[in-house]
Amino acid sequence: MTSDLGYTCSCCGAHHAQLPMAYSVEAPDLWDARFDGRSDSLLSSDQCVIQDQVYFVKGLIEIPVIDSDQVFSWGVWVSLSRQNYQRAVEVWEAPGRDQESPYFGWLSTELPVYSPATTNLKTNLHTRPVGERPFVELEPTDHPLAVEQRTGISLDRVRAIAEAVRHSNENR
């Protein structure tokens, strides 16, 4: 295996020194800047509430990279029921929170490199030790994202994702 983790982009022809192994979304798809500063809404790096009606936690969809010892990850938002969100917040800083049962939720992030859409895929959110982002387990369906989470992806696929993400604004 080569030690150069960079890649030459097939879209722009440039050599990029690093192959990103993670991407993250700042807010759930439903978040809008008009919610900023409202007493009934919150957006932090880990949690989101919209008008005291919709609740989200940020987690990681982790995908093994087959021809590497690395893991590729998507930082995504999962909507939870009010009850599950309240429980997640209650144990957020508690040692042993990783012993919690998974929380059912809906993926609330559209990842542009997948078709069909990723929004509203069924998930289980697994808490981890304090300081670690929860793990997002997708329902084992035939959706390409769920298949990749189960079976892994190649470094070539990671490069294709990097190209698509890097140049996604050019295609709008």
pTM to 2 decimal places: 0.90
Band of pLDDT at residue 31, cut at 50, 70 and 90 = very high
Closest CA to 20 of 163, 162, 169, 164: 162
Band of pLDDT at residue 12, cut at 50, 70 and 90 = low
pLDDT at 18: 83
Band of pLDDT at residue 15, cut at 50, 70 and 90 = low
Percent of the chain with pLDDT strictly greater than 90: 81
pLDDT at 75: 98
Q: What's the mean per-residue pLDDT of the chain?
A: 91
Q: For tokens 């919209």, what's the residue?
A: 50
78-99 per-position pLDDT tens digit:
999 999 999 999 999 999 999 9
CB atoms inside a 10 Å sphere around CB 111: 20
pLDDT at 7: 59
- Distance, in Å, from the CA atom of 58 to the CA atom of 76, rounded to the nearest integer, reads 6
